Amino acid sequence: MAAIGAIPSDALSGFMVLGELGLDGSIAAVAGVLPAAIGANGRGEGLICPAACGAEAAWASPEMEIVAAASLIQLANHFRGTQVLARPQPKIREVDGALVDLKDIKGQESAARLPTILPPLTPAELLEVSMIASVAGEIEGGALTNRRPFRAPHHSASMPALVGGGLRARPGEVSLAHHGVLFLDELPEFQPQALDSLRQPLEIGEVAIARANHRVTYPARFMLVAAMNPCRCGRASEPGFACKRGANARCAAEYQGRLSGPLIDRIDLHIEVPAVTAADLILPPPAEGSREVAARVARARAMQEERYAAIGLPQVRTNAAAQGPLLEEVARPDAGGLALLRDAADAMRLSARGYHRVLRVARTLADLDGAEKVGRVHLAEALSYRALVDEVRRAA
């Protein structure tokens, strides 16, 4: 445009230009505008981007020059000074209406409400989460939100959809769930290969995607929540129910055997949930709602942050980020707890990883109690969540 004189010849100097041009001169939204804007700002450049992406780009800096145009004509008018476009403003997406409160939930919808008891994203986390969403083209209307992500891919999801990949190395569900919750319903129905690919992000909090000539690494530190039926027909553990596919025990073993030991081993809390009956749906709500639980969670997280800061490890902010030797130090149980842990470790044949995971859960339960020391009661509860792992593993 500068070359044909539609805009002043020096108008574009010092600008980075981004967008998808339509044949009619319209400029359509593209993915990745936020990181591009941050990059341009770092180089001291301005940004020309699609109008639909302006609010997103505006997050990069309040000072940088941003021209967000809907069409080439708007862009030309802006630079000729006939109709100057206002600088776009950063937007926060309003939390959609009344979030369902924890106490209004019956049965399995609970997972989707997890973000209501988690603290909002910190500014640094918000930026990380938004950069990933931007690269994936998932920022609606350019507005960011400080709500923790909740992702629930269907069990037919491919491996690239889960961990990332494809033509443009798009971030997968594990990265879109960064700092939030990844919920996998009907866990054994996922492709075994796709489930296997979760092990790396679960262990190191990031995922590497190999391309033909380079590697892309995305952060992927998420809380994994999964649900499954006891067997494929769904009711093997119900009294009086006879599985269509043979003996109940065999039907359950076959189904649960689809999950690999190493994956099961990485899940800390295993809970058996009875099927929701009509009676459950008319029960009065439990006394504790999202607000009360969220306050307890916030207190426990504050305790954890203070603890690790006090021993000179401010980069560790939650128990989830504490590893082996550190866990042994901060979760050292009292005498009663230690005896219980020794017996259980033998009886359950806990691996070193399993042992540390029990310690981490017990420390967190103590924090939720506001307790300084990990007691026998906390260890007993942590071990009970682990006991079902062994059952499933034996089936595998």
| Listed residue (157, 228, 245, 148) closest to 195, CA to CA | 157
- The piece of 124-132, 226-234, 277-285, 356-364 that touches Zn ion (CB under 5 A) is 226-234
Q: Are residues 255 and 232 in contact, defined by beta-carbon separation less than 8 angstroms?
A: yes
Of 57, 102, 181, 243, the one binding Zn ion by CB under 5 A: 243
Instruction: Choose between 52 and 243: whose C-beta lies nearer to Zn ion.
Output: 243
At closest approach, how far in Å is the CB of 258 from Zn ion?
Answer: 13
Long-range contacts of range 235-239, CB-CB < 8 Å, 24 or more positions apart? Answer: 235/275, 237/272, 238/275
Binding of residue 229 to Zn ion (CB under 5 A): no
Rounded Cα distance, 271 and 281, in Å: 20
CB of 171 to Zn ion, least distance (A): 37
| Interaction of residue 236 with Zn ion, rule CB under 5 A | yes
Q: CB nearer to Zn ion: give 244 or 342.
A: 244
Answer yes or no whether residue 133 interacts with Zn ion by CB under 5 A. Answer: no
| Between 135 and 236, CB nearer to Zn ion | 236
Minimal distance in Å, beta carbon 275 to Zn ion? 14
Q: Which of 198, 251, 322, 379 binds Zn ion (CB under 5 A)?
A: 251
Q: What is the CA radius of gyration of the chain?
A: 25
Kindly tell me which of 22 and 246 has the beta carbon lying closer to Zn ion: 246
In the block, which residue shows the tokens 């029990």?
358
What CA–CA distances, in Å, run from 349 to 96, 355, 361, 380, 389? Answer: 47, 9, 18, 16, 12
Nearest residue (CB) to Zn ion, 236 versus 327: 236
Among the listed residues 34, 231, 300, 383, the single contact to Zn ion using CB under 5 A: 231
Confirm or reject binding of residue 228 to Zn ion (CB under 5 A): no
- Nearest-approach distance from CB 267 to Zn ion, in angstroms: 22
Q: In whole angstroms, what is the distance from residue 253 CA to residue 239 CA?
A: 17
Shortest Å, Cβ 92 to Zn ion: 47
Count of residues binding Zn ion (CB under 5 A)?
5
- Dist CA 22 CA 118 (whole Å): 42
Q: Which helix (H) or strand (E) holds 387?
A: helix 376-395
Q: Which is nearer to Zn ion, 73 or 275 (CB)?
A: 275
Binders of Zn ion among residues 61 to 90 (CB under 5 A) are none
Question: Is 181 near Zn ion (CB under 5 A)?
Answer: no
Q: Which pairs from 60-66 meet CB under 8 Å and 24+ separation?
A: 60/34, 61/37, 62/90, 64/37, 64/40, 65/15, 66/37
* Residue in 30, 143, 208, 233 binding Zn ion, rule: CB under 5 A: 233
- Using CB under 5 A as the binding rule, whether residue 256 contacts Zn ion is answered as no
Q: In which residue are the tokens 């699609």 written?
A: 50
Distance CA 52, CA 9 (A): 26
What part of residues 103-122 is at the interface with Zn ion (CB under 5 A)? none
* Closest separation in Å from C-beta 232 to Zn ion: 6
Q: In the chain, what is the straight-line distance between the N-terminal and C-terminal CA atoms, in Å?
A: 65
Task: List residues near Zn ion by CB under 5 A.
Answer: 231, 233, 236, 243, 251
